[in-house]
Structure 1
Amino acid sequence: MFHMYLPIAGNSVNIILILGLGGFVGLLSGIFGVGGGFLMTPLLMMFGIPPTVAAASDSNQIVGASTSGTIAHMRLGNVDIPMGVMLLVGGVAGGTVGVQIIKLLKAMGNADFLIAITYVIMLGGVGGYMFWESLQGMRHDNGLPIEKKRPKPKGEEEKKSFVQSLPFQYKFEKSGCEISMLLPLAFGILVGILAAIMGVGGGFIMVPVMVYLLRMPMHVVVGTSLFQILFTCVNVTIMQAWSNHTVDFVLAVLLLLGSTIGAQVGTAVSKRLNADQLKIMLASLVLLVCVKMMAGLLMTPSIMVALKGGH
């Protein structure tokens, strides 16, 4: 009962289960501004969906969740479109460079190990810092004593002066900052490279970049991240369907229905949370993924063989 056959995947699934998975990942997208592919793809594989079909159909689902989330956040005024466009352009360029770097790593050998280690270090560092910084903010809000802030380094003013001297200065109204358009473009390129190397959509890297490097308000970060993810995944979905024929549209529609509803609920939830609460929840999720990746790294024989120089 409630089972449906998936023509491309070649097996049947429980409709309620797939709708629930889509709703859960959509909820995460609406709250945190991430695609959720890092969770959805392995979950689909657990239920017997082939990896290529899971990844391609998941990209389609992310389009639905990010579209729904972007529209909802636009209504709340949480999307900085000019900032999103600059990050998107940089991300596409960086992704192209990242693909070439992957080819180089594979030619050198031990690519899988290097990619996995990069993933663990980055997620662990970002998640740990975000968790600690958010705890400090929550302690301050509750009137509890917090560690004294270190004095600003002597070079802080020089850095600020350098940033202000860059060309193409632009006032990003929603983000509340006036900086050179080259900065979000450069960060977008960096995130695109890392996303391509690590095989992720980039949301988990892009969100901390916008919060800590571009100093954008957390709620604007969530909406702008979803805007950027939307257009990135539209391109991926079209390419997967056209070139590889790995998108199972029955599976994708079920995931879309669940994620669209979930993203609306997630946006409503995020509206009721303050910035520190959002950041500490996202940090916990990032650290959870980091632990999962580390466990997979330690438990994968092929990677350990590669580390020792085997084939």
Structure 2
Amino acid sequence: MQIYLPIAELSVNLFFLVGIGGAVGFLSGLFGVGGGFLLTPLLIFSGVPTAVAVASVTGQVVASSTSGALGYYRRGGIDLHLAMYLVLSSVVGAFGGVAAFALLQQAGQLDLVISLGFVVLLGFVGVIMLQESVRSLLKRRQGIVVRDRQAHKHTWMHGLPLRVRFKKSRLYISVLPVLAIGLFIGFVGSLLGVGGGFIMVPALVYLLRVPGNVVIGTSLAQVVAMMAVTNILYSVQSQSVDIMLAFCLMVGGVAGAQFGAAAGKHLRGEQLRGLLALLVLAVAIRFGLSLVLTPADEFSMAVTSMVR
């Protein structure tokens, strides 16, 4: 069953789109992360224009993250004070990311920068995650007890000025690294069309020592607000959000996430992190190959400005 995507100007099989959304939703539920960093590359590899893929995925990320954020809010798993600082700085970063997106699109360099961004970002995160998971698995096999990092152990970041007390997280830290993390996630997330949760959660845990009982909920709250603003900016500025595409992805994602969450209960944390790292590295390698291999179509059509 073919459907026409008006913004992408492309006819795609409906079951294919729902299937992609379901597959990414399953992986999101399995690994406990947002699927934007997987969904955007899959759409690009499937022939959807890069600009439409990046912009449309923002709506799907908002929908998939909202239910999770509400669940954590009802259980008291969100530090609203910390989330407020992250949201404010990430929204500022989102404005910068959308502006950079428009400039790159006008210069005809958007596809190249998006590919390089995914190669660097996913490659770095994938290597770090794979090293940590392999190290944990080896220690467990040797009988060494793997302990979580101490949530309240101070680092050099805790000595910075402008300290603020976050009661929910039981932290008294400088807001400067909090704002810097939010600004970076907002810029990268809006430019690449990813929620940024797979970067935000490790940053909050390992850099700021945010307790595990509030870190995921706080990250989800930040993702919902940031991606909602990003979706509006893309809709108004470049009109590149394809509602039909986003809706099909949402339908599949909601269903797939339920099965993924159930399957994830049968795997250990180290195994999940290892599998996710391999998946992230596979996507990074795929983007890297697209940069060095000769494309099937060596010519492209682009609108260029004409001097009269």
Q: TM exceeds 0.5?
A: yes
Q: Secondary structure, in 3 states, of the residue corresponding to 1:179?
A: strand
Q: 2:179 maps to what in 1? A: 185
CA deviation vs aligned residue, 1:25-51 (integer Å, no higher than 9, x gap) = 223334445443333234334545444
TM-aligned CA deviation for residue 223 of structure 1: 3.5
Tell me how far apart the structure 2 counterparts of residues 285 and 28 of structure 1 sit (CA, whole Å): 10
**Equivalent residue for 1:152?**
none
In 2 relative to 1, CA 76–291 (structure 1 residues): closer, same or farther, beyond 3 Å? farther
1:168 match: 163
Cα distance in 2 for partners of 1:54, 1:216 equals 33
Whether the 8 Å CA contact 1:31–1:222 is kept in 2: the answer is no
Q: What is the TM-score when the length of structure 2 is the normalising length?
A: 0.72
Query: Is structure 2 residue 242 aligned with structure 1 residue 253?
Result: no
Q: Distance in 1 between matches of 2:80 and 2:261?
A: 18
Going from structure 1 to structure 2, the CA distance change for 1:138 and 1:201 (only over 3 Å counts) comes to same
**1:90-169 to 2 correspondence within 5 Å?**
90-97=89-96, 119-144=118-143, 160=155, 163-164=158-159, 166-169=161-164
Shift of 1:135: 2.2
Q: Distance in 1 between matches of 2:212 and 2:92?
A: 25
Residue 286, structure 1, aligned to residue 280, structure 2: yes
Q: Give the deviation of 1:66 after TM superposition.
A: 1.3
Give me the TM-score of the superposition, normalised by structure 1: 0.72
CA shift digits 1:146-172 (9 cap, x unpaired):
99xxxxxxxxx9x74761563333235
Per-residue CA distance 1:103-124 (angstroms, 9 max, x = gap) = 9999xxx998777556534433
**Cα distance in 1 for residues equivalent to 2:242 and 2:93:** 28
Q: How does 1:30-49 map to 2 (within 5 A)?
A: 30-32=29-31, 34-49=33-48
Contact kept, 8 Å, 1:66 with 1:263, in 2: the verdict is no
- The CA deviation at 1:63 is 1.6
Contact (CA 8 Å) 1:32, 1:222: kept in 2 or not?
A: no
- Which residue of structure 1 lines up, in the alignment, with residue 53 of structure 2? 54
Aligned counterparts, 1:228-307, within 5 A: 228-269=222-263, 274-299=268-293
Q: Quote the Cα distance in structure 1 between the aligned partners of 2:124 and 2:41.
A: 23
Aligned match of 1:212: 206
Structure 2 residues not aligned, in runs of 5+:
147-152, 296-308
1:22–1:61 contact (8 Å) kept in structure 2: no
User: Per-residue deviation at 1:268?
Assistant: 4.7
CA distance in 1, matches of 2:55, 2:145: 46
Over aligned residues, Cα RMSD in angstroms? Answer: 4.0
Q: Secondary structure at the match of 1:292?
A: helix
CA distance in 2, matches of 1:103, 1:17: 29
Q: Which amino acid aligns with 1:237?
A: N
What runs of 5+ residues in structure 1 fail to find an aligned partner? 148-156, 302-311
Calculate percent identity across the aligned residue pairs: 41
Please say if residues 139 and 146 of structure 1, whose CA atoms lie closer than 8 Å, have aligned partners that are also in contact.
no
The SS at the match of 1:41 is helix
Secondary structure of 2:130's counterpart equals: helix
